[in-house]
Every structure is written in C-alpha cells, then in structure tokens.
Amino acid sequence: MQKTLVIIKPDAVQRRLIGKIINRFEEKGLEIVGLKMTVISEGLAKEHYSVHEGREYYENLIKFMTSGPVVMLVLRGMNAIEVTRKLMGSTFGYEADPGTIRGDYAMSKRFNLIHGSDSEESAEREISLFFENGDLTQNEQSGLKWIYDMSGENPL
C-alpha cells in the first residue's frame, strides 16, 4: 500500500475546515496512519517546497505556510498519491472542479487549503521531513476488508 503526505494549510485551519477535509479522505477509504497539528518552521517549509525556490511566488508561499498552525496527515491506501491529488483538485481554487476539496472551498491561487505529495519520491521525502518512523501506526485497520477485496494475496 502506498503512503502520501497531506498538509491542511493555515487557511483551512483558520476557516475551520479541518474536519470537512479529513472527512473526505476517511469516507473515500484512505487510512490515516499519522496525524499531528504543528506550526511549520521556516527551515522545514523551505525544504518541503525546495523545488519552487526562485519562483516569483516562493517567498510568499513560505510566509503563508509558516503563518499559523497546520494539520499533517499521512494517508495509506491503494494508489494513495493519485487518489489524494484527485480529491484535492487542481492547484488554483477558482479552476478546481466542483466536488474536489479545492473546487468546493477555495478561490485563490495561494490559499488553496491543502497540500498532497505528487510522486512516490516526494511522498517518501516529505513524510520523513515531518514524521519519525515510530510516529506512524503499524496497526491494520479492521474495516479494510470492506474497503478492498482482501480475499486474495493482494488487496483488490
């Protein structure tokens, strides 16, 4: 099963959307295997968004991401990275499709409520940036057998 990092950004926390956003992932069938609320340091924000360094929006993105508490989630599931990105919607709120988190709740380019890893490589890098291995639950969730067909060797 694949893992991905989600950050519920400062705008979503201030707009009291934490519950609604987490609900989308739970209802879809993704497992929450890590969860915390924190304020991201400038150093970690810069590392997290290092591929954007030099872009005209970079400095303000770092200011935004460190401007207040965020909620971090590690989600696990089949194709968790792609599924999470689909549920989030495209980057800019005003362009994102209705039915997605950004499409339903965001209007802005920068204040787009949520981050999700975009590849296996970034997911691994980002999870290890914000979580120790021991912070993630290793427990199998009992409800899984009604989320996937678990009768074979691999979940289907």
- Are the C-beta atoms of 147 and 1 separated by less than 8 Å? no
Minimal distance in Å, beta carbon 46 to ligand ATP?
A: 13
Q: Does 63 bind ligand ATP (CB under 6 A)?
A: no
Q: Out of 38, 57, 68, 95, which residue is the one contacting ligand ATP (CB under 6 A)?
A: 57
- Pick one of 14, 91, 119, 128: the residue that binds ligand ATP (CB under 6 A): 91
Are 114 and 134 in contact by the 8 Å Cβ rule? The answer is: no
Q: How many CA atoms lie within 13 A of 121 on its CB side?
A: 1
| Contact assessment for residue 30 and residue 77, using Cβ atoms and an 8 Å cutoff | yes
115 binds ligand ATP (CB under 6 A): yes
Which residue is catalytic, options 115, 126, 127, 131? 115
Stretch that binds ligand ATP, among 23-31, 32-40, 69-77, 108-116 (CB under 6 A): 108-116
Cα 63 to its chain centre, rounded Å, is 19
Instruction: Locate 117 and state its tokens.
Output: 């890893």
- Please identify which residue in 30, 116, 123, 127 interacts with ligand ATP, judged by CB under 6 A: 116
Rounded CA gap, 20 and 103, in Å? 13
**Nearest residue (CB) to ligand ATP, 2 versus 137:** 2
The angle subtended at Cα 19 by Cα 117 and Cα 105, nearest 5°, is 70
* Binding stretches for ligand ATP (CB under 6 A): 52, 57, 61, 91, 109-110, 112, 115-116, 118
Q: Which residues are catalytic?
A: 115
